[in-house]
């Protein structure tokens, strides 16, 4: 029986990063994966969706070439080629993870892993054979999958999840997207840009419901401007797939209505992959579909750890990676600080993009905080106007007494690349006045951060 210092179960952005950090720290490491290295994020999530979205953006640029004084005639798209490019990008990234495993001398074990007592794992290979492995420390990083609603059972053809949405054989003429979180609005943007008629159905009163209400309202306006129909406070109560397409019954405050489409995309959240992996046999505690861990990802059973989507933290790739690194560093005996879950950025890659960190204005008020709020629209930004992307704004929230940066919320072109300024500043406990006195380059989209802060302190220049 092979024995390791660390075995990681699952090779997503939490698992493979944890394995690499363990190897860097001199720990004999193995990783177990039943599918492709890189997990869902790399193969069927974060990366391939961004490739699709980039194709949609280029297509939209070409269709609006005249807005930039250019001419491009007979513009069309090849849907199959767009999907193929996305898959090629994902495949290349997965090969990159394979290279990193070899580089760091991490043993890759292919098969389905099941935990056993005594810090052991049984791995069932494709041929059905079972091999037992042991480790001083086992890290569970099995991730999550598309959640299914009883009223919306996925058949992979007419009612699909994100995985099928990435690789459809042909482009649907009409699509209903159920759920307006990051997955829902990203696919809604892509398919609409490609020419599909899209309707977004959201159960809550606001789309992208975890975001600041001003962000939600702006995105709603932007989506409607592109032709996407948005239904809020609406629920899909049943679907009929017996005909050629799908008939979805939607319950709203005004009564029921039936929408017809070729395909319904269910984007109503995720379900953790914790079934049949041996948690019960080992005695690892769970609660509401999550594995319970302490600040350094130790479960209730010594030697068994858990990171990523299977734990109660935010289900984001960068969170899983950060947790994996901290988990391994704690195992190696390093002195580390627990992750600050109040300073985790969230990004949505529709168009316009959304990026945020910290408290929303509503949350800050509910906590009884005395706040200063600043806002700067990209319509007043020279770079945004010159780029043809004036939609959106930057909104900042500060504690009025101490100047603490409580929250930052952005919607606009490229804002997912801008949010890190707020994350780092909050980590360093930077005040609003310090941001004001930090010179931002002109002309850039990032100037809007400084201008929004200036607005909060009644010093805004360009508004």
Contacts of 59 by beta carbon, 8 Å cutoff, 6+ apart: 75, 77, 193, 194
388 is in an annotated binding site: no
CA distance 408 to 345: 9
361 is in an annotated binding site: no
Q: What is the dihedral of CA 143, 148, 154, 159, to 10 degrees?
A: -110
Assign 212 to helix, strand or coil. coil
33 bridge partner residues: 110
The upper half-sphere exposure of residue 181, i.e. CA atoms within 13 Å in the direction of its Cβ, equals 14
50 is in an annotated binding site: yes
CA distance 51 to 60: 14
239 is in an annotated binding site: no
Q: Closest by alpha carbon to 391, among 225, 200, 174?
A: 225
442 is catalytic: yes
Number of other residues whose CB lies within 10 A of the CB of residue 76: 8
113 is in an annotated binding site: yes
Structure tokens at 207: 């789309």
CB 42 within 8 Å of CB 93 = yes
310 is in an annotated binding site: no
269 is in an annotated binding site: yes
Burial class (CB in 10 A: 0-12, 13-18, 19+), 226: middle
CB 440 within 8 Å of CB 421 = no
Structure tokens at 293: 């861990």
Cα distances from 176 to residues 72, 79, 172, 191, 367, in angstroms, run 31, 19, 10, 11, 37
202 is in an annotated binding site: yes
66 is in an annotated binding site: no
179 is in an annotated binding site: yes
Q: 335, 409, 440, 442: which is the annotated catalytic residue?
A: 442
CB 81 within 8 Å of CB 5 = no
Place of tokens 């988990």: 327
182 is in an annotated binding site: yes
Residues belonging to the binding site are 50, 113, 179-186, 202, 269, 309
Catalytic residues, by residue number, are 442
Residues belonging to the binding site for FAD are 50, 113, 309
Residues belonging to the binding site for NAD(+) are 179-186, 202, 269
């Amino acid at each position: 029986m092979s024995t390791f210092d660390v075995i990681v179960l699952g090779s997503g952005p939490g698992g493979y990063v944890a394995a690499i950090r363990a190897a860097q720290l001199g720990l004999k490491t193995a990783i177990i994966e039943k599918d492709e290295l890189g997990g869902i994020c790399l193969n069927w999530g974060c990366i391939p969706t961004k490739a699709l979205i980039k194709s949609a953006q280029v297509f939209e640029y070409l269709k609006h070439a005249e807005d930039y004084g250019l001419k491009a005639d007979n513009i069309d798209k090849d849907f199959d080629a767009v999907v193929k490019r996305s898959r090629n990008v994902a495949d290349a990234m997965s090969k990159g993870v394979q290279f990193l495993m070899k580089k760091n001398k991490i043993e890759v074990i292919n098969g389905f892993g099941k935990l056993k007592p005594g810090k052991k794992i049984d791995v069932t290979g494709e041929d059905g054979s079972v091999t037992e492995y042991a480790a001083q420390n086992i890290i569970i990083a099995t991730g999550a999958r598309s959640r299914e609603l009883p009223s919306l059972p996925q058949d992979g053809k007419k009612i699909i999840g994100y995985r099928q949405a990435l690789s459809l054989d042909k482009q649907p003429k009409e699509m209903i997207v159920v759920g307006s979180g990051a997955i829902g609005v990203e696919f809604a943007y892509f398919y609409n840009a490609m020419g599909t008629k899209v309707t977004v159905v959201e159960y809550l009163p606001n789309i992208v419901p975890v975001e600041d209400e001003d962000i939600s309202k702006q995105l709603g306006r932007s989506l409607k401007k592109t032709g996407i129909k948005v239904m809020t406070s609406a629920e899909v109560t049943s679907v009929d797939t017996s005909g050629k397409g799908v008939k979805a019954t939607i319950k709203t405050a005004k009564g029921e209505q039936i929408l017809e489409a070729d395909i319904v995309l269910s984007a109503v959240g995720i379900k953790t992959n914790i079934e049949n992996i041996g948690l019960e046999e080992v005695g690892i505690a769970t609660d509401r579909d999550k594995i319970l861990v302490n600040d350094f990802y130790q479960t209730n059973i010594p030697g068994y750890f858990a990171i990523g989507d299977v734990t109660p933290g935010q289900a984001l790739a960068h969170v899983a990676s950060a947790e994996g690194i901290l988990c391994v560093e704690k195992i190696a005996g390093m002195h580390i600080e627990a992750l600050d879950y109040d300073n985790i950025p969230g990004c949505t890659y529709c168009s316009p993009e959304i990026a945020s960190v910290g408290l929303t204005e509503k949350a800050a008020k509910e906590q009884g905080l005395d706040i200063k709020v600043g806002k700067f629209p990209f319509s007043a930004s020279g770079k945004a106007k010159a780029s043809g992307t004036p939609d959106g704004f930057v909104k900042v929230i500060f504690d009025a007494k101490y100047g603490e940066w409580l929250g930052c919320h952005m919607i606009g072109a490229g804002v997912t690349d801008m949010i890190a300024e707020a994350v780092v500043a909050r980590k360093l406990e930077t005040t609003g006045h310090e941001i004001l006195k930090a010179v931002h380059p002109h002309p850039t989209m990032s100037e809007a951060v400084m201008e929004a802060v200036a607005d909060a302190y009644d010093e805004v220049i360009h508004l």
